[in-house]
Amino acid sequence: MIESKQNPQIKAIKKLQQAKGRRKAKRYVLEGPHLLEMALEAGCQPDLILCTEASFIPDYAEYSYELISPQLADYLAETQTTQAVFAVMPLADSLTLDQLTSPAILLLDGLQDPGNLGTIIRTADALGYHSLILGKGSVDPYNAKALRAMQGSQFNLQVIQADLNQAIPQLQAKGYQIAASTLSRDSKSVRDYCLTDAQKWGIILGNEGNGVSPEVIELADVSLHIPMTGQAESLNVAIAAAIMMYEYRPVI
């Protein structure tokens, strides 16, 4: 049983709690038995499972695993109440735009909040948006808070990181119509514009504070807004994403 914080494996896993450490090691950490179960169901194999004696189940013996003390579980935890199961997972292989297969794509321009990102990915999974592009300045999708909000939906999506200034023209050349979400009343209402007539389409949502950047809006084929009748000036970006994806959901 591992009990020391100075153990090399423990020190290596702590580094994975930072984006820099994840990029360098090409690994990330899933915390909790449910997320590990989702990974295994998706065919993703952990490099290592760490758990306490109390949280160990026989299925873990099929993989490389180590028992750790409850104190170390608390030390590694990024949740308030840990379930004492940690899985070191390999980062997914990088994809290119040519490998995206979904007729409906979500593009995120500088999204900052990991909780919002995780919620958007889970909603995209539910509504048939199986390809997602994270633009420059967006939060790391392997952030622990984002992973908790995704609830395993990342295993059902193609997620790539790209410069939207380059990605949008490439998608348009492939026949995608690209719509930018804005607050401008000069834009078209989602109630009146049928984006899905295009057969292949993408929706851009922006930064929580500033929205979609002007240069990215300029690249879009159309700007759309969600009509609101109340006093609030804007919606949370994850809520806006859910509404727009539902309005323009692919037909299965």
Q: What average pLDDT score do residues 135-150 get?
A: 95
Domain 8-90 has CATH 3.30.1330.30: yes
- pLDDT value for 195: 92
Phi, psi of 224 (to 5 degrees): -130, 150
Whether 27 has a pLDDT exceeding 90, the answer reads yes
Banded model confidence at residue 209, pLDDT cuts 50, 70, 90: confident
Q: What average pLDDT score do residues 51-62 get?
A: 95
Q: What's the chain's Rg over C-alpha atoms? A: 20
Q: In the predicted model, what is the mean pLDDT of the chain?
A: 94
Banded model confidence at residue 252, pLDDT cuts 50, 70, 90: low
| Alpha-carbon torsion (207, 175, 130, 128), positive or negative | positive
Residue 200 carries which DSSP code?
A: S
pTM for this entry: 0.92
| Predicted confidence (pLDDT) per residue in 217-228, tens digit | 999 999 999 998
**How many angstroms separate the Cα of 217 from the Cα of each of 118, 169, 178, 242?**
24, 12, 10, 20
Q: Which fold has domain 97-247?
A: Alpha/beta knot (3.40.1280)
How far is Cα 184 from Cα 194, in angstroms, rounded to an integer? 18
Specify whether the CB–CB gap between 51 and 86 falls below 8 A: yes
Banded model confidence at residue 94, pLDDT cuts 50, 70, 90: confident
Beta strand pairing status for 131-134 and 85-90?
unpaired
CATH 3.30.1330.30 domain locations along the chain:
8-90
| Predicted confidence (pLDDT) per residue in 171-195, tens digit | 999 999 999 999 887 899 999 999 9
CATH 3.40.1280.10 domain locations along the chain:
97-247
| CB half-sphere exposure, 123, CA atoms < 13 A | 20
What percentage of the chain exceeds 70 in pLDDT? 100
- pLDDT value for 185: 72
Beta strand pairing status for 104-109 and 131-134?
parallel
